[in-house]
Amino acid sequence: MMDVLLIEDDPVHRAFFREMIEQALPECTRLLEAEDGQIGERLAHEHGVSAVVMDLQMPKRTGVEAAKTIWKDRPDTSILFWSNYADEAYVRGISRIVPEGAAYGYVLKTASEERLRLALRSLFIEQQCVIDREIRGVQQKSQDQVLGLSDTEYEVLQDIALGLTDRAIASRRSLSLRSVQNRLQQLYEKLGVYQPTDRNHAFNLRARAVSIALLRKLLNRNALEQAEAELQQWISDPRHGYSNAKQQS
Q: What is the pLDDT of residues 35-89, one digit of tens each?
A: 999 999 999 999 999 999 999 988 888 899 999 999 999 999 999 999 998 888 8
Q: What is the pLDDT of residues 12-46, one digit of tens each?
A: 999 999 999 999 999 999 999 999 999 999 999 99
Domain, as residue range, for 209: 151-244
Q: Per the structure, how many domains does the chain have?
A: 2
User: What average pLDDT does the segment 201-225 reach?
Assistant: 87
Same domain, yes or no: 225 and 155: yes
Q: What is the pLDDT of residues 159-179, one digit of tens each?
A: 999 999 999 999 999 999 999
Cα diameter, the chain: 65
pTM, entire model: 0.78
pLDDT higher at 236 or 141: 236
At residue 247, the pLDDT reads 46
Specify burial of residue 88 (Cβ count, 10 A radius: 0-12, 13-18, 19+).
buried
At residue 195, the pLDDT reads 67
Same domain, yes or no: 35 and 87: yes
Domain CATH number, residue 197: 1.10.10
Which helix (H) or strand (E) segment is 6 a member of? strand 2-7
In this prediction, residue 248 has a pLDDT band, given cuts at 50, 70 and 90, of: very low
Same domain, yes or no: 56 and 117: yes
At residue 145, the pLDDT reads 62
Q: Is 98 helix (H, G, I), strand (E, B) or coil?
A: coil
Q: What is the pLDDT of residues 96-126, one digit of tens each?
A: 899 998 999 999 999 999 999 999 999 999 9
The answer to the question of residue 98 being in a domain is yes
Last residue of a domain, one of 142, 171, 201: 142
Q: Which residue, 113, 117, 73, 115, is CA-closest to 97?
A: 73
Same domain, yes or no: 66 and 159: no
